[in-house]
Structure 1
Amino acid sequence: MKEPKIVESTERRMIGMQLKMSMSEDQTYKLFSTFMPRKKEIKSMTNDVYAIQVYDKESTFEDFGPKTIYTKWAAVEVNAEVQLPKAMEEFSIPSGTYAVFIHKGTIADFFQKTNPFIYGQWLPKSGYSLADRPHFQVMGEKYLGDNPASEEEVWVPID
């Protein structure tokens, strides 16, 4: 896996849906199955879809495990003040520094290769620490779902 780009990101205004979950009780499919058909109701959006993970302030990297509860969002970025569609919410990703990795492959590849590389190899040697901001993935035009040729950006908040 390639080294990440270090990026200073501006604040991003998002509209989407959220669910509380853990890795052992993953509800990502349910969340996106509800959000994706309704995405077209959002005006002034960018084309990319985001998966956003928000962890409690009390959670630490060392404490994270399969049963750790977090909030996951399925969302799109908006570039204007817009009317919120029914059952959707607005969310803001604050500005800050991110390490941006490119994940290529399936969902299983993400958990077996990309995630261990980021948190087990790169981060401990990088000189950075995890920041208390949302983690997110950007699923742009190269995102093909659970396909070996799929690509997505993995944004990890760092200080």
Structure 2
Amino acid sequence: MSIEFVKLETKEAFTVVGMECLLSPIEAPKIWHPFIQNIHLIENRVNSTVTLGVCDDLNQRYIASVEVNKLDAVPEGMVSFVIPANEYAVFKHKGSIQGINESFQEIGKWLHQNNYKGTQKPPFFELYDEHYQGENEESKFTIYMSLVKI
């Protein structure tokens, strides 16, 4: 497992649609299977090869989701969520998804060493694209950590 800082990036607000669960190391992985089985129900997807894992820390929930460019309807059993405009530190995680906790520890160290702190709006989201391979050690995905300078 490795984590690499990629860049600082400012993103405009955007909307996601997906399935939510309690924010926990046990519950969050469980939501992905039913979400992927029903992903075809979501209209107006921005990118058909990208999914997002959104941490809504304020409400203690995790949302397996996709970005939409227009919110016409939210399928039954799903929610919509607006990720507000924010500045992010962007990191690339390489390795099995099982190493994600170590990646977040390294991200915390990077934030501290570079005089940043995370925010709670939401604190982070994970971007999974065609490079994501689950348990495979060659798997890659991107973590966007919202931040402010201290």
- TM-score with structure 2 length normalisation? 0.88
Partner of 2:19: 17
Q: 2:137 aligns with which of 145, 148, 151?
A: 148
Separation in 2, partners of 1:31, 1:2: 27
Partner of 1:78: 68
Counterparts of residues 46-125 of structure 1 (less than 5 Å): 46-47=47-48, 48-56=50-58, 70-112=60-102, 114-119=103-108, 121-125=109-113
Secondary structure of the corresponding residue to residue 76 of structure 1 = strand
The alpha-carbon deviation at position 2 of structure 1 amounts to 2.8
Q: Deviations over 1:70-90 (max 9, x none)?
A: 210000000123221111111
Q: Deviations over 1:1-41 (max 9, x none)?
A: 43331000111110011111323xx1123211111100011
Secondary structure of the corresponding residue to residue 124 of structure 1 = helix
Secondary structure of the corresponding residue to residue 5 of structure 1 = strand
Contact 2:119–2:146 under 8 Å retained in 1 = yes
Work out the percentage of aligned pairs sharing the same amino acid. Answer: 25
The alpha-carbon deviation at position 56 of structure 1 amounts to 2.4
Q: CA RMSD of the aligned region, Å?
A: 1.5
Secondary structure of the corresponding residue to residue 19 of structure 2 = strand
User: Which structure dedicates a bigger proportion of its chain to strand?
Assistant: 2
Q: Unaligned stretches of 5+ in structure 2?
A: none
Distance 1:2 1:33, change over 3 A: closer
Contact 2:22–2:28 under 8 Å retained in 1 = no
In the alignment, residue 100 of structure 1 is paired with which amino acid? V
